[in-house]
Structure 1
Amino acid sequence: MCGIVAATAQRDVAPLLIAGLKALEYRGYDSAGLAVLDDDAIRRVRAKGKVREMEALYLADPLRGGTGIAHTRWATHGVPNEANAHPHMVGRVALVHNGIIENYASLREQLQSRGHVFTSETDTEVMAALIEERIAGGVGLREAVLATARSLEGAYAIAVISRDEPGHVVGARRGAPLLVGVGIGENFLGSDAQALIQVTNRMVYLDEDDVVEITRDSVQVYGLDGAPVERAVHQSELSTDAVERGEYRHYMQKEIHEQPRAVNDTLEARIGPHGVLPNIFGVGGDELLAKARGIHIIACGTSYHAGLVARYWIEEYARLPVSVEVASEYRYRDTVVPDGTLFVAISQSGETADTLAAMREARRRGYLATLAICNVPESSVVREADLKLMTRAGPEIGVASTKAFTTQLAALALLCLRLAEQRGLERDRYADLCAQLAHLPRAIEEALKLEPQIAELAALFVPLEHALFLGRGAQYPVALEGSLKLKEISYIHAEAYPAGELKHGPLALVDEAMPVVAVAPNGPLLDKLKSNLQEVRARGGRLIVFADESAPMDTGNATGTTLRIESGGTFIAPAVFTVPLQLLAYHVAVLRGTDVDQPRNLAKSVTVE
């Protein structure tokens, strides 16, 4: 959510800042701006809408200078408009900010009582005013930022420049990501590595409450008390090719097709001919897992759906009780934590505010240990967890998550198998499940071959405004994920239900204008699902069934469609059946002409509550 890029260099930085913002567009935003310092003056350009609209203003009147900050904003305090867009300027200070300042109202009142007049509705301008006030009192930029940071409550990542200190940028973070890009004769700040990979692959990941000052030739990190601290420089493995769209029309389509490779990478060197390899969760991980007497999974959105699938797996094969909860709800209730409960946090970015806060709360509640399943190695969730398993999905640019979901399922399947083996799952059954998991990349490749048929089927949905998704057992979370994808990018209202719940209410909605999408792998619940679909058929509903190639399935009327999929087995079927639902949502959105990669009102990395 939101994006920060800052630079100090011997060359004009505005083109670098704009390129960095474009690399961060996937995060979601509704306005953009940049400010550049040169000749003791700060010049600024801002615009509501996309980066390209702000860039057009810049090109009409270029901003020259070697020090600058830039931002894409996703509105929280104040409507999306130019006045609320970042950077915010107060006196000699310009500032950009991600996050939410919870005590901004009281700070704003104090500033107003001292004569400050605000020009925006944002909490960000409060910080700029506090820093300006302190500089006016005689301290330098770094000291002013440190003092201001100590007065803030909430989450923030900021980058600040002052016309009194050309060549200096000061950043700070708490609860929102910020990192340093280390160059030669130039240094940078960014929300994530993708913003900076075009200029450097050497990164410094800041810890909670770090304050950093960069110049062209130096990087110095400080604790909130002002004392210097050391932070290691890491070589990023991210490549510029990884964030290019290539031959695909949209990033989402590219990322759907990257899933066989991404899942294979997630499984590589973690599962072998004889099963899951030891210590893939970190040193001492197997010993901690062996002590687990229950699992509590916390996540948001798509990651939450992955957790729901894992509940079915772990309870069936490892015979451990599992609860799965939305992170934003977990934080605000008084949870009972049975002895020996393992806390599992799932996050694509590793910076999801609610998930990160839930994990920190879990440390106070007496869990056995915390395990992070995540795609970003240097993220806060990963660094703060006791155990970790990286999903290796690579950069995911499209806001609607695809390969993050299937790689999370692959990682959770590894967790399930390790727990099941430790608890004495029959050897033949364990070997079969491992073989299914090893086959998953190939099964996803086969599912992708359905794309031409699904693209044709998508035309049915274009004039419609509602859809139902159905599944049973571990396919119910897959139905939830399918409905989420459709609503996210096509703006069609979609809901998902366990198929057995149809007669408890949703059946009232079914008619010839309501498509009903069902996922139907072969298995013990197939006959029950077929009975549920008969209820839809009897009421004239249009059935779209994704069925296992070995499942006896017939829509039974001229308005139904059945597409066959080789699931590869009941264990991996949830991951395989997810793929055609992703393709369906994608092609419906393309035909409806929506912004597939950056759907309205949504952000990729949700770093605020």
Structure 2
Amino acid sequence: MCGIVGIIGGRDVAPLLVDALKRLEYRGYDSAGVATLQDGKLDRRRAEGKLGNLEGRLASNPLPGHIGIGHTRWATHGAPTENNAHPHFAGRVAVVHNGIIENFASLRRELTASGAEFVTQTDTEVVAHLVSHYLSEGMASRDAARAAISRLEGAYALAILFSGDDEEMIVGARNGPPLAVGHGKDEMYLGSDAIALAPFTDEVTYLEDGDWCVVTRAGAEFYDASGRQVERARRISRGAAYVVDKGNHKHFMEKEIYEQPEVISHTLSHYIDFAEGKAKPIEGIDFANLDRLAISACGTAYYAGLIAKYWFERYARLPVEIDVASEFRYREMPLTGKMAALFVSQSGETADTLASLRYCKSEGVTIGAVVNVPESTIARESDAVFPTLAGPEIGVASTKAFTCQLSVLAALAIAAGKARGTLSDEQEAEMVQALVEGRRVLGEVLREIQPRIEALSRDLSHFKDVLYLGRGTNFPLALEGALKLKEISYIHAEGYAAGELKHGPIALIDEDMPVIVIAPHDQLYEKTVSNMQEVAARGGRIVLITDERGARETALQTMETIVLPQAAEIVTPLLYALPVQLIAYHTAVFMGTDVDQPRNLAKSVTVE
């Protein structure tokens, strides 16, 4: 979602704010702006579109000031125009905001009745006017901010700046979306992501839900929702270690696809004893004594959870309930003390996933988090944290985070099977060895399949609709393939369980419908071939992703056959994710879309 940065420094901060915002581009945005305080007066520059447009404004019309706030906006209320871009001003107040103010309409009516004049379509402007209203009643700046914050309903992270010669402070507040204070020497920072603050400091303090803070050059004061001053721990952030660079690749997404063999290796080493050929024991969740496991996530992380359902049920004989978090949080699933819940999130800040976690926690369920950001809210509120170790993922469409999530979940399923006595020592050793060898195979596959997929993607870019089919763990991969394609190429795509073809989707099959079939030669291969024959009989163009044996045993004519090495069952989801990702990537490149920052999407969805 939106990115927030604030700096109280000893030099002009506008260029620093823009540089910090660049590190938040991966979150997705459609406009940007900065505001500074100079000689007690507020001024701002804003621009629609990418940060380069804002830089152009600053180059032609510089913005001095040693204290300032910056923002990248992902539009919710109001079109992505310059007028709706943050920061928003009202009287002596400047505000930037991530989230949604749910009661903004009633507040706007109230403030309009008292004389406020609104100039944007956003929910955020109401915050600036509300703070300004309390200032007009004679309140001090921090008190006015506190009074306004107490009336807000919804999810928000805020940074508020005030004009005035003695007002060198920024007030921050958090209810849902993350917000962190960065500590420097004679300088202080505020940011929605530690990565944004990494060039300035590696020492951060995270606000907890309901917290607000007052940041000055001398430091920061923290208050809870009741207004009581509290202490919040300082942490050393890993953000400073992250180098956000495309290297020799055209896009971050391409770079992250090719990083997968390495990051999967790092992730597996955290959960597998390579020397002993065993899964390391799980700490924090007693899988041996569970009668049920719940898994919840959103988007690509949900598809990782779907694959994990197959694994936990097959290898650990543990029944799994799974749902997308936006449904899980509202359906009031009955919970028991003999179950655990796993929540999967790249950012660790996904609003629906966090709400689902809190529901389970309130019912006394043991919580596990599979996250890529160990300092995230989901991680901090869990009983057990299972990091994915993918490093920062900048491309909005998830790739390496997905396969690292799969790696963690595979290792957990093996360890759970061993703990529950459903896997023998020999079975454990075979599966661990398959995962260890899989790291090498992934690298070989990436080198070998690129030319064929690039040629295939050129052809796919001319179609308007694509269907993906798979069975077993390949069904969630079909869903993921369809999601990737529509996310970044904007081609309509759907994923189906292959056995469901005759129950509706077959009506769509004709010569203008490519059908991508994910079908390694396993116990379900022959059934999938039957579905392929139904597609071929209706003129559908088949793209088959299979292994050597599967390619040999099909006599059907295909638009393209992508052949992967033979692999163990536990490895195939990791392996077959690669062509699925590359098809989406190269198709989008041929379509000329913004691969890393596709329209309307955000990397971290911190509101409903």
Question: TM-score normalized by structure 1?
Answer: 0.96
1:73 matched to 2:73: yes
String of CA shifts for 1:342-375, please: whole Å, max 9, x gaps.
Answer: 11111000111111111112223343x1111100
Residue 289 of structure 1: aligned partner = 287
Residue 211 of structure 2: aligned partner = 210
Q: Which secondary structure does the structure 1 equivalent of 2:523 belong to?
A: coil
Partner Cα distance (2:377, 2:270) in 1:
25
Q: Which secondary structure does the structure 1 equivalent of 2:550 belong to?
A: coil
How far off is 1:495 after superposition?
Answer: 0.6
Contact 2:374 2:385 in 1 (8 A): no
What pairs with 1:464-543 in structure 2 (closer than 5 Å)?
A: 464-543=463-542
Q: Which amino acid aligns with 2:53?
A: E
What pairs with 1:564-583 in structure 2 (closer than 5 Å)?
A: 564-583=563-582
String of CA shifts for 1:223-262, please: whole Å, max 9, x gaps.
Answer: 2233322222222223466311111100000000111111
Partner Cα distance (2:288, 2:132) in 1:
55
Partner Cα distance (1:482, 1:421) in 2:
32
Q: Which amino acid aligns with 2:445?
A: A
Residue 64 of structure 2: aligned partner = 64
Alpha-carbon distance change, 535 to 170 in structure 1, aligned in 2, over 3 angstroms? same
Alpha-carbon distance change, 558 to 293 in structure 1, aligned in 2, over 3 angstroms? closer
Partner Cα distance (2:144, 2:301) in 1:
39
Residue 128 of structure 1: aligned partner = 128
Contact 2:551 2:561 in 1 (8 A): no
Residue 380 of structure 1: aligned partner = 377
Partner Cα distance (1:219, 1:567) in 2:
57
How far off is 1:388 after superposition?
Answer: 1.2
Residue 304 of structure 1: aligned partner = 302
Alpha-carbon distance change, 597 to 205 in structure 1, aligned in 2, over 3 angstroms? same
Contact 1:251 1:597 in 2 (8 A): yes
1:399 to 389, 396, 400: 396
What pairs with 1:300-339 in structure 2 (closer than 5 Å)?
A: 300-339=298-337
Q: Which amino acid aligns with 2:279?
A: V
How far off is 1:142 after superposition?
Answer: 2.1
Alpha-carbon distance change, 382 to 240 in structure 1, aligned in 2, over 3 angstroms? closer
How far off is 1:418 after superposition?
Answer: 1.7
Partner Cα distance (2:208, 2:141) in 1:
20
- Identity percentage over the alignment? 50
Residue 114 of structure 2: aligned partner = 114
Q: Which amino acid aligns with 1:587?
A: H
Contact 2:104 2:126 in 1 (8 A): yes
How far off is 1:557 after superposition?
Answer: 5.0
Contact 2:279 2:428 in 1 (8 A): no
Residue 255 of structure 1: aligned partner = 256
How far off is 1:445 after superposition?
Answer: 1.1
What pairs with 1:152-163 in structure 2 (closer than 5 Å)?
A: 152-163=152-163
Q: Which amino acid aligns with 2:453?
A: I
Alpha-carbon distance change, 401 to 179 in structure 1, aligned in 2, over 3 angstroms? same
String of CA shifts for 1:43-76, please: whole Å, max 9, x gaps.
Answer: 0111221111122112111000001111111111
Q: Which secondary structure does the structure 2 equivalent of 1:117 belong to?
A: coil
How far off is 1:401 after superposition?
Answer: 0.3
Contact 1:38 1:166 in 2 (8 A): no
Partner Cα distance (1:171, 1:511) in 2:
56
1:229 matched to 2:230: yes
Residue 151 of structure 1: aligned partner = 151
Q: Which amino acid aligns with 1:451?
A: Q
Please identify, of 52-61 and 294-303, the stretch whose mean Cα deviation from structure 2 is larger: 52-61
Q: Which amino acid aligns with 1:353?
A: A
Q: Which secondary structure does the structure 2 equivalent of 1:400 belong to?
A: coil
Q: Which amino acid aligns with 2:563?
A: R
For this pair of structures, how many residues does the alignment match?
603
Residue 459 of structure 2: aligned partner = 460
Partner Cα distance (1:13, 1:440) in 2:
47
Residue 591 of structure 1: aligned partner = 590
2:412 to 410, 415, 426: 415
Partner Cα distance (1:554, 1:187) in 2:
65
Q: Which amino acid aligns with 2:486?
A: K
Partner Cα distance (1:205, 1:348) in 2:
18
Alpha-carbon distance change, 595 to 554 in structure 1, aligned in 2, over 3 angstroms? farther
Q: Which secondary structure does the structure 1 equivalent of 2:238 belong to?
A: coil
Q: Which amino acid aligns with 1:344?
A: L
Q: Which secondary structure does the structure 2 equivalent of 1:473 belong to?
A: coil
How far off is 1:183 after superposition?
Answer: 1.7
Q: Which amino acid aligns with 1:172?
A: A
Partner Cα distance (1:379, 1:216) in 2:
26
Q: Which amino acid aligns with 2:411?
A: L
Q: Which amino acid aligns with 1:216?
A: R
Contact 2:335 2:360 in 1 (8 A): no
Partner Cα distance (1:295, 1:443) in 2:
31
Give structure 1 stretches of 5+ with no counterpart.
none
Q: Which secondary structure does the structure 1 equivalent of 2:300 belong to?
A: helix
Give structure 2 stretches of 5+ with no counterpart.
none
Q: Which secondary structure does the structure 2 equivalent of 1:268 belong to?
A: helix
1:83 matched to 2:86: no
Partner Cα distance (2:458, 2:71) in 1:
38
String of CA shifts for 1:156-191, please: whole Å, max 9, x gaps.
Answer: 100011012442111111100111122222111111
Contact 2:506 2:535 in 1 (8 A): yes
Partner Cα distance (2:291, 2:92) in 1:
58
